[in-house]
A and B are shown apart, each in its own frame.
Chain A
Amino acid sequence: MALSGMRGLSVFISDVRNCQNKELERARVDKELANIRTKFKNDKGLTPYEKKKYVWKMLYIFMLGYDVDFGHMEAVSLISAPKYAEKQVGYIVTSSLLNENHDFLRLVINTVRNDIIGRNETFQCLALTMVGNIGGKEFSESLAPDVQKLLISNSCRPLVRKKAALCLLRLYRKNPDVVSVDGWADRMSQLLDEREIGVLTAVMSLLVALVANNPDAYWNCVSKCVRVLERLTRSQDIPQEYTYYGIPSPWLQVKTMRVLQYFPAIDDPNIRRSLFEVLQRVLMGTDAVKNINKNNATHAVLFEALALVMHLDAEKDMMAQCVGLLGKFIAVREPNIRYLGLENMTRMLMVSDVQESIKRHQVQIITSLRDPDISIRRRSLDLLYGMCDVTNAKDIVEELLQYLTTADFAIREELALKAAILAEKFAPDLSWYVDVILQLIEKAGDFVSDDIWYRVVQFVTNNDDLQPYAAAKARDFLDKPAVHETMVKVAGYLLGEYSHLLSRRPGCSPKEVFSIIHDKFATVSTPTKAILLSAYIKILLHSQTVDPELQNHVLAVFRKNETYLDAEVQQRASEYYALSRKGPSMVDVMAEMPKFPERQSALLKKAEDTEVDVADTSATKLRLMQLTSTAVVVADQKPANGVHPALTRVPSGQRNIEAPTVPVANGGQSPAPVDFLAIEAAPTHSAPESSPLVGPGDSLALALMDNQASTVQVSSRSGSMRSAEKTAAFFMKILSFRQADYYFPCYNVLLQIGLKAEWRGNQGRIVLFLGNKHTAPLLSVKAVILPPRHMQLLTSNVPDTIPPRAQVQCPVEVTNLSPSREIPVLDFSYNNSSAMVSFKLRLPVIMSKFLQGATLAPADYIARWKALMGPPNKLLQEVVRGVKPLPLQEMSDLLGSLHVAIAPGYDPNVNNIVGAATYFSENPTLCLIRIETDPADRTQIRLTVGTPDTSVALELKEYIKERLVDIPSGAAPTSLPGMPSPADDLVGPAASLAGLI
């Protein structure tokens, strides 16, 4: 056994090796680190030998996985040592221990440079190696010319030149400017004439990087590369040491073919002919041999040749030859060749016209899907996925399903997703598709993402013929002993919608269907429970003759869940209870879901987006893909948020037939309906219509709930949470309704306040709706509006008492007299028999209510602008910083929502927004507005407002500034969960209104 040549180092290594366990090892290492630290502190006494020894020890400790956070200086300083042995240690240890950004490296740049330009070849090599391994930007700037000189020098030994080539490659990666294209293309071309194989290999690596970045510049190298290949494949002038198991440098052959793959196409017929001759020789002349190393080497060249042939888009014959070869490879036992055969066949799929010949190998590929080696199974899966089309989808997908039960966990998710995508993409008929997905859920439920089953529901809903089939299938699956929760979801949904189509079949009476679903109820999660409740009421109301026993059952379930812990389940249970007691008159409400508008599956869309590189879709990519596709679904939900699945069909006119509970029921908040709604995101029901906040006039009716206080509270709270999340959008909406506003901003357990407003010119009319939801009257009601000075507000009398469950209206007349951003405040108080409650509400009487967009012709606009510029200066200008960064369009929309008419194109600079509006106070004033944005910094703008009346300009400028700097987010409103206490003042409802304005 050869020893390291340093006794101390050997002793330490063997000590560490003798440690029985990790703790002892750590103790030994810590002891050594302490020792080294002390030694380094007394630097003076260290001999070069000792220094070397300790630095080696540090590297050893570092390699074992311990943190070595000192001694870097000592390692680096060895580089500057005059003696060769120390210098070598310094270079090696530094390049392992330090990274390219380490400050100490700067200290040695000069030494390194001196070594590179010096006469000592060994020093040159050491320095080049270190720079090649960790050289950073600074090295790049200061060393590149010297390294280049070494590479092209005639007097340097090959040993130095090949290192210079790779060192230059590193420097080039850090800073592409070190190689100026003009001169270098010729230089590279000359370098390719090199006879020495070692240098040529290094130069070829450099060329790969250069060509990859800029193929056009290095055209002149193509013919040289082909010549190198000819030389190698004909074994001309190859020294014995550069053959590997008889093959002339396989690395150089592979690298050269790699370079050629970076050129988009090779058109020169002569070069092309020579190249194909070479490739043909490789393709023909490779036989499998016994010696595994030789076999590896020949196949390394062969696979690269295949890749190059594919890249060059060769003639049909040659392609067929390649497919033939690959077909042979994927059938061999040797696992490496089989692995690469599968991988390259997947790449081959991108070549046109060969798909058919690849399909002939399907059986063989499927065999590899069952290989014990996961690397091979992955390749096989990728290939099957890539080659699947309508003709073989059934076979391939069924094969994948079969494999799913035995596949290891590492691959199941990918497998399930691929099977689902293929089934959807190439389904010969839809019933088969339904079968596949249901089987998929059965076999690998944990790995089936929600969008997979949403998609099935969409298909079934949109295809009447499919409905009985799918329902019957779902019912069969529920019979199985262990049912996955996803299966319960999809089966529950399908049976709820369509089980009445099966009612004549044995075992499918509503009662039986209900009981088989309800068996699962106790064990499923809350979101699923919510789906099942919807299924129950549908089953009940869809059955032609009401079975009293079933009805009792279902009602009992609803009753029981009215007090369920989760708000969504609780709410559904109580609403369905109320609805189902109405009996058949509610059939319409619970009718089948309408058809979904045709749209592309999120899964498939993603799959198609990545179609281009689907051939090499790796596991990670797919996983990523799946993640984003889920994200897409989540994003889709937003507009539909609040549309209750069971209620989407309620015609808006019917909304107040039965109790105001219906609009309130929209306040679904738990994750359950959110998930569920992903498939319900039917744009037929636009969000504003179904939102209670900006609903039509009738939703202003007071929501009189039944006596169950808990329900009321939950509903109102979830309602307000939703309002929080919608505030941003809602805010825009309120502002944009020039003529009339309706909303329903706040309510607590006892009191509900609604508001309706109309605006014209400088006049406005607000009607406040005050509703008492309590069973006792509200006494001593006082509503006083404190008008700001610029506004005249006429309030009619508010009745002293609001009777139980009644609503009073309180009209307010508003006249705007002068510009101001001040907002009137409503001071409200009442006595609810136990305590006095009072709070303040800010009324939404804001500047933009008195603005009206003004459209001017460009010439007129410019003329007015110029007039404002002249003395007396009426333009107010300010640079506003800290603006919320918005895309230009959004900023322009925001301005538009303040009733400023945007005039696109009036300003020659596309980054500017200009617009005009008339402000109505006592006299109307025309205001011109310009926002100049800085594309480099979206957080700052220059805002200019010009009006003949400076006070208007001032206020308007401030007003717009406020909007831009702080656009209200969802944070503002938190409606009181209980009662507002007198101390609440501007929190609670007041804040909630304030947030809205």
Chain B
Amino acid sequence: MIDAVLVMNTQGKPRLAKFYKSLSPVKQQEIVRKVYTGLSSRAEHFCNFVEADEIFGAGTKLVYKHFATLYFVFVIDSGESELGILDLIQVFVETLDSIFKNVCELDIVFNFNKVNTVLDEIVMGGQVVETNSTEIVKSVQEIFK
């Protein structure tokens, strides 16, 4: 299961934070901070997985990808495939790219409502709902028509 999806910039400012487990706002913020600390020290050529037992409980991992000024982070438990999630991040970013035509951080900042909608079309209740970028774009456009 996907426990949370976070997008933050390289300074640690959250750009999107979606949790699929009930957590208090305080705890959510603490997690965002810890995730950032965990990621910011990692070099570019390191692997894309970080064990997150201390942040999110035993057996959880962060699967992340670094694009320009942004980190895309999925917090997952042992029920998900790490590489599969990495693919999913790619799908997420490609979808944003086709919606915003060359997506950049500012797009995500100013359209965080749309980004939320896109995520809802990809992940729902911690499960992958759709992996087909074309399909996702179609349903988002339907919502924002």
Contacts and interface: CB of A to CB of B under 8 A. Distances in A.
Interface of A: 1-4, 9-10, 13-14, 17, 56, 59-60, 62-65, 67-68, 88-89, 92, 96, 99-101, 122, 125-126, 128-129, 132-135, 159, 162-163, 166-167, 169-170, 197-198, 201-202, 205, 208, 241-242, 244, 249-251, 254-255, 258, 293, 296-297, 299-300, 303-304, 335-336, 338-340, 372-373, 375-376, 378, 618-621
A607 B142 CA distance: 56
Interface in B88-122: 88, 90-91, 100, 104, 106-107, 109-114, 116-117, 120
Contacts of A133: 20, 120, 124-125
A666 B85 CA distance: 62
Contacts of B88: 251
B100 A65 contact: no
29 contacts: A1-B110, A2-B107, A3-B111, A17-B109, A59-B113, A64-B13, A100-B22, A122-B143, A128-B124, A132-B124, A133-B20, A163-B124, A163-B129, A170-B125, A198-B135, A202-B128, A202-B129, A205-B127, A242-B131, A254-B81, A296-B83, A296-B90, A303-B81, A303-B83, A373-B46, A375-B51, A618-B53, A620-B54, A621-B58
Contact of A96 (B18, B53, B79): B18
Given A619-B51, A621-B58, A166 B14 contact: no
Given A132-B125, A303-B83, A621-B58, A251 B131 contact: yes
Contacts of B47: 335-336, 338-339, 373, 375-376
Given A60-B112, A242-B132, A339-B49, A297 B59 contact: no
A196 to B, nearest CB: 10
Contacts of B139: 125, 159
Query: Top 8 nearest A-B pairs by Cβ distance?
Result: A300-B83, A335-B47, A132-B125, A373-B46, A620-B53, A99-B22, A170-B125, A205-B127
Contacts of A62: 25
Nearest to A293: B90
A963 to B, nearest CB: 43
Interface residues of B, number: 62
A4 B110 contact: yes
Interface string B74-92: 0000010111101110110
A308 to B, nearest CB: 12
Nearest to A95: B120
A122 B142 contact: yes
B49 A375 contact: yes
Contact of A197 (B32, B91, B116, B132): B132
B10 interface: no
A691 B100 CA distance: 80
Contacts of A125: 139
B43 interface: yes
Given A3-B110, A336-B86, A162 B129 contact: yes
A591 to B, nearest CB: 48
A409 B128 CA distance: 37
A459 B131 CA distance: 59
Nearest to A202: B129
Contacts of B22: 99-101, 134
B134 to A, nearest CB: 5
Contacts of A9: 113
Nearest to B30: A65
Contacts, number: 179
Given A135-B125, A336-B48, A375-B47, 20 more contacts: A1-B110, A2-B111, A2-B114, A59-B113, A96-B116, A99-B23, A101-B22, A125-B139, A129-B124, A198-B135, A205-B127, A241-B135, A250-B84, A293-B90, A373-B43, A375-B46, A378-B51, A618-B53, A618-B58, A619-B51
A166 B20 CA distance: 13
A473 to B, nearest CB: 37
A1 B100 CA distance: 8
Contacts of B58: 618, 620-621
Contacts of A251: 84, 87-88, 128, 131
Contacts of A376: 46-47
Q: Chain A interface mostly helix, strand, loop or mixed?
A: helix
A200 B134 CA distance: 17
Given A335-B45, A336-B48, A63 B106 contact: no
Given A60-B112, A63-B112, A335-B45, A1 B132 contact: no
A56 B47 CA distance: 36
Contacts of A201: 128-131
A973 B28 CA distance: 49
A101 B46 CA distance: 40
Contacts of B143: 88, 122, 126
A336 B49 contact: yes
Contacts of B131: 198, 201, 242, 244, 249, 251
A92 B124 CA distance: 12
Nearest to A135: B125
B51 A618 contact: yes
Nearest to A168: B125
A17 B106 CA distance: 10
A320 B20 CA distance: 40
Contacts of A135: 125
Nearest to A162: B129
B29 interface: yes
Nearest to A243: B132
Contacts of A373: 42-43, 46-47
A88 B135 CA distance: 19
A389 B65 CA distance: 38
Contact of B130 (A56, A60, A122, A162): A162
Contact of A166 (B29, B32, B127): B127
Contact of A304 (B20, B46, B81, B87): B81
Interface in B1-52: 13-18, 20, 22-23, 25, 29, 32, 42-43, 45-51
Nearest to A64: B14
B79 A56 contact: no
A133 B131 CA distance: 18
